[in-house]
Chains A and B, each alone.
Chain A
Amino acid sequence: MTVVARTWDRLTLPGKALFILIPLLGVLTLGLVITIALFGQQILDILIFNLPIVRFVFSVTILMLIFVPMAFVIIYMEMKIIALMNLRIGPDRVGPWGTLLSTVHGLKVLMKEDFTPGKADAVVFTWAPVVVFSTAVLSALVLPFAPGLYGQDMNIGLLYFFAVGGMTVVGLLMGGWSSFNKYSLIGGLRSAAQIVSYEIPLTLSVVGLVILAGTMSLNEIVIQQSRTGWFTDWFMFRQPLGFLIFAIAATAEANRTPFDLTEADSEIVAGFATEYSGMRFGFFFFAEYINVFIISAITVVLFMGGWNAPFPSPHISWIVDPGSLGLWLVILIAIVPVVGTLALAAPFYLFRSKTRWWVALILGFVLFNVIAGGIFSLWAYINFDWVAGLFWFVGKAFALVFLFVWMRGTLPRVRIDQLMGFAWKWLLPAALLNLFVTAAAVLVIDAMKAAPK
């Protein structure tokens, strides 16, 4: 046995993988750099020529990258808020106030054994989480986050959202069936029945809104809600019944409490995800929390004004343009942090004799950063439309996420027959009523406008 072979044998499996992967990555990077250096212009031409497809791929990638940390934040929110509601402390070990716990959860899920049950259908079993996760990411493609900040602006955006969002159920059915487990199968069947039933009131409740807005493009719908700039323009107030039906049906679509019958742990262990472990379970878990954000976001877009602020923004023009300062800008950048840190550190050092000078300096530095960050954010908010839009959109969406967490902390789970009966006997007639009343109102108003006076 040669030295090389002996060294190779001593490596652990991850070590072997890394030993192969890292040089491979280096070679690939080198190849990429050389290709770009040689054929950069041609590649750019081809990419620009195929802009729609490139844009699609790019925005899906960006969404996927954004959604993993967002799922972390929502998982942490859920753990902490429910803990506070239960008078527990909740996560408090990893990071300040336990904020890094969901990251650790993610790493833990990555390191767990990825187990496939013996008689499971391995191919379908593997693809199920992929389908669930990718439908969640793809359905977010049409969400307008801020003015000019969206994946794709389709004139059938709403239809696309429902089409792709409805495909989640295929993934859940696949996972439930392929696990070779009665609980999984029941969970999968329940999810299919539930999502197919609730999709009907969900879609019908929005038709009234589409009649009012006259478009299915989500961008246009948001713009329609900004006529006067006040929050009274939001469709929430013109379609209250539709808003209520939509909120309830969307909760059921995302399998959230009180409608989380598909993973009711007191009845069927964990539903479709019973046999899943490791990262395949992780994808189901992520998809669930991404879906919470997505239904909050779509509710905000449709009924709560999207990226519009609830009040008209005052026009402020006294902000100094940094470009006009010239050389002074450089001097400011050099001096202000030092002076600010010292000025903020001075009170701590001078008026509390116990404080050491370096503690005071650290405190001053942190305080200065907080203040400077606040001023910078304010400047960005006033000067850039999309910053303001993003602020309001994410704020409203996370307020709704909080509402969903609150519901999970408060409400008991319904029974399966109550769930189905509620969808077909109450929500569907209510949605139809909403549609007919809206259509009649639009007709009457049009007739009154057209009538000669």
Chain B
Amino acid sequence: MRAWLYLIAAAVAGAIVTTPALIVLILLGGSFDDALVAGLATLMIAAGIAVVSMRDIIRCGLAMIVCFLSLAGLYVSLGAPMVAAAQVIVYIGAISVLILFAIMLTQEKVGSARLTFQTQAAPAAIAAIVIAVLVSVAAFGTSWGEVSEHIRSATVYVAHALFQNYVLVLEAVGVLLLAAVIGGVFLAKREKGA
């Protein structure tokens, strides 16, 4: 019985995710790229909702990975594979795995592997609205046709930008990260010694 429920739930979820893609595919005349973007965007939004609404924290983490993965897919379909690879390496390979690792190490499966997130709904709503406004201002304030001509996603151009134009900022970020690492080690050590 349970297996059937899972199957039905999977079918419904699959239908929800693929429907926009199919609609786009039919409306925009058979371009798989558009359908891919629509499907990935739907998947990302669905996974994002799952992250904040599910009660099991490990599943939230896994849904976050799905969210990051579909974002990487969006980057690829928008012609920025370099950003997508960085997204996968940093956010999935390092950060999400670290989060999952920490949760599994500290939480007990039998006990409360559940946290209540919804205690800060009002500040979260304000933050979400502010971010939405900022993003829309940025999106509508840019003339995309002009920008897309200057996009150079090859690694050479990224390297030139990083190590010539923005080298000072890069070094500053490096020092910041180093300080964070040292601070983390200091905190961990002090707790052990005390």
Contact = CB atoms under 8 A, between A and B. Distances in A.
Interface string B149-162: 00000110000000
Given A156-B85, A167-B88, A189 B104 contact: yes
Which 6 A-B pairs rank lowest in CB-CB distance, beginning with the nearest?
Answer: A166-B93, A50-B32, A163-B88, A159-B85, A53-B32, A46-B30
Given A124-B59, A196-B94, A216-B155, A163 B33 contact: no
A278 B92 CA distance: 29
Contacts of B36: 53
B89 A166 contact: yes
A54 B155 CA distance: 26
B89 to A, nearest CB: 5
B48 interface: no
A262 to B, nearest CB: 13
Interface of B: 2, 6, 30-33, 36, 56, 58-59, 62, 65, 81-82, 85-86, 88-89, 92-94, 96-98, 100-101, 104-105, 109, 154-155
Contacts of B56: 121
A284 to B, nearest CB: 18
A199 interface: yes
A166 B94 CA distance: 9
Nearest to A193: B101
11 contacts: A50-B33, A53-B32, A121-B56, A121-B59, A155-B154, A160-B81, A163-B85, A163-B89, A163-B92, A180-B109, A193-B101
A173 interface: yes
A50 B33 CA distance: 7
Interface residues of A, number: 34
A170 B65 CA distance: 9
A181 B85 CA distance: 34
A137 B62 CA distance: 21
Contact of A189 (B32, B101, B109): B101
B86 to A, nearest CB: 8
Contacts of B154: 155
Contacts of B88: 163-164, 166-167
A361 interface: no
Interface string A107-127: 000000000000001111000
* Most chain A C-beta atoms within 10 Å of own C-beta, residue among B2, B33, B62, B81: B62
Contacts of A46: 30
B104 A156 contact: no
A164 B72 CA distance: 11
B33 to A, nearest CB: 7
A110 to B, nearest CB: 18
Interface string A122-137: 1110000000000000
B97 A169 contact: yes
Nearest to A160: B85
Contacts of A351: none
A167 B85 CA distance: 12
Contacts of A174: 62
B89 A192 contact: no
Contacts of A176: 104
Contacts of A50: 30-33
A392 interface: no
B30 A155 contact: no
Nearest to B92: A167
A251 to B, nearest CB: 19
Contacts of A169: 93, 97
A160 B65 CA distance: 17
Interface string A150-171: 0000111001101110110110
A188 B86 CA distance: 24
A49 interface: yes
A173 B100 CA distance: 8
A313 B180 CA distance: 55
Given A169-B93, A169-B97, A196-B101, 19 more contacts: A46-B30, A49-B30, A122-B2, A123-B6, A156-B81, A156-B85, A159-B82, A159-B89, A159-B155, A163-B88, A163-B92, A166-B93, A167-B88, A170-B92, A173-B104, A177-B100, A177-B104, A177-B109, A196-B93
* Most chain A C-beta atoms within 10 Å of own C-beta, residue among B82, B88, B109: B109
Interface in A179-196: 180, 185, 188-189, 192-193, 196
Contacts of A53: 32-33, 36
A154 B31 CA distance: 22
Interface in A304-335: none
Contacts of A49: 30-31
B155 A163 contact: no
B186 to A, nearest CB: 18
Nearest to A185: B104
A451 B94 CA distance: 44
